[in-house]
Structure 1
């Protein structure tokens, strides 16, 4: 497989009449708030391995995880001015640059993981990445950050009626408060570092997040019911500094884009493996995990939220919903 990839790139460069023999060595510094073992970090390492192999060590990637270079906002600012070559960020961080990315934060904008992939891999995703250039960024691709689902200590959520009256911790954003309220629950903003204690003391009955987070934060100790409502699927993106990009040869730009294209499915593969592992661990602990649920009532209940907070993006949302998947 790797030989085929190398051959493909060689043919592409020959077609363009390009040569990399005289190019300078390039060390791409990349930042991530997560540490070793996390899918986004390991995926960027994989991208580095591809570039290293294809260029005989001329292009490499040095990953700085665990917020060594600051949080997402700080890293993005460094990329914009060319002090850092690359970073992986949540779409919310680039919302001020390309407003349409905020549409991804709305509940049930994506019907499934495959639907999200079809959107981000297609025309819509490409258009949004291209718009990042006005902010000094080259969008290389999207990464899977999983889906958020409900977990609580009171009762299993088998239908939307089971959410009635439950106090659910949400991120400190009015969209998410109204989302839970629209489903019949009571959305309560709580700082993430206070969530365990809030569930332990009954300030909230539960929360919403992905399965690996329940494991890593030991929330299974204070909540025993998990239902895959998958009400939020918000992709993440990895971006390159346009200031640095413009100094690169077309050959190197081509190589980086090809490596990025192969990194996207690799990260998805790593993410799925981590989620499957977390769900299995929860089941083995005796955790009540409900994987199948009728989502249509949840989707219908949150329509007013999409209309209220997505009024600026209605055309985009219609295009997203028209994509198959």
Structure 2
């Protein structure tokens, strides 16, 4: 933390070690594991630090699998991006080098571009609508796209609503972003959103973003309060504007071939119930949302809650990104979402 910021107490440091979802698994065992084998080890890697909702979710999985198999199957979790960033690990998962992965839909969209429709700016009116659409309306379409690409869907979760952190002041209009270099995820949805807001997007991996912020390569970023604290990016900003311009779901998947090699009882234990696991993941993330926002002030970061007029102006400015997306990637999945809004 910089000298200009008030240090946080130890309890709060532990609490705010939150993170976005990005879990990966690696299966080590015989070509086809059997229920009677002495041991199967499943390695999980995540960019989330310990003490976060996502690390708690993996601990829940570890316990379920260990107890359900009497110790035959061991889940070993590697926290903090030990296997790489989201884009590289999802690619390795597709090739079978990593058995499973979980992260943002934007990262999965590097393989399945249509999925990025879920992150278009101001698409969902609220999280209730987002939950209903993912859990009840387009689940089948998502599963088919994933299976075609070689993945098995385990459950949904979320990173949450992305807002804007800066080192130059609040963002109350597009004029405030003119000429500013802003860290971006690499998908067109995020790049075009920044351009529509007047900024110059800089696609930079999560693992390199903190250095870019500290050295002035970028002037800010967009992400959730959860990830802002998890990655310690709050240390490199002075202002956080709650634009909530993009709702970012997350998902956990496994390589389909690896999944099919697992014995049926282990599959059942890993997957659990899709809806129940999705609800659990979102609930744990949302439970600390307000407290995370409250933590900005003690960290020396000012917060602005965008007005309705400001949000309407941002929504109007970014609306053309929806057509840019459908023109490039097709409108089928986008329409499947939009008809329920």
Into which bin does the TM-score normalised by the smaller protein fall? 0.7 to 0.9
Report matched runs for 1:74-153 at 5 Å.
Answer: 74-153=88-167
1:66 has 2:80 as partner: yes
Q: CA deviation at 1:132?
A: 1.7
**Structure 2 CA distance for aligned equivalents of residues 172 and 96 of structure 1:** 11
SS in 2 for 1:269: helix
SS in 2 for 1:310: helix
1:194 has 2:212 as partner: yes
* Pairing partner for 2:338 from 306, 321, 324: 321
Report matched runs for 1:1-325 at 5 Å.
Answer: 23-24=36-37, 25-158=39-172, 160=173, 163=176, 165=178, 167-171=180-184, 173=186, 175-183=189-197, 185-189=198-202, 191=204, 192=209, 193-198=211-216, 205-216=219-230, 219-220=233-234, 223-258=237-272, 261-285=275-299, 287-291=301-305, 293-294=307-308, 295-311=311-327, 312-324=329-341
Using structure 2 for the length normalisation, give the TM-score.
0.73
Structure 1's 164 and 136: CA in aligned 2 closer, same or farther, altered over 3 A?
closer
**Which structure has the highest helix share of the two?**
1
The structure with the larger Rg is: 1
Using structure 1 for the length normalisation, give the TM-score.
0.76
Structure 1's 135 and 275: CA in aligned 2 closer, same or farther, altered over 3 A?
same
SS in 2 for 1:144: strand
Q: CA RMSD in A?
A: 3.2
Deviation string for 1:49-79 (max 9, x for gaps)? 1232334334442212233334434544554
Q: CA deviation at 1:83?
A: 4.8
Long gaps (5+) in structure 1: 1-20
Q: CA deviation at 1:304?
A: 0.9
SS in 2 for 1:35: coil
Long gaps (5+) in structure 2: 1-33
**Structure 2 CA distance for aligned equivalents of residues 79 and 66 of structure 1:** 17
SS in 1 for 2:215: helix
Which stretch of structure 1 is more off in the superposition, 54-63 or 144-153?
Answer: 54-63
Q: CA deviation at 1:143?
A: 1.9
Deviation string for 1:94-141 (max 9, x for gaps)? 335433213234222333333322222223133212322233221112
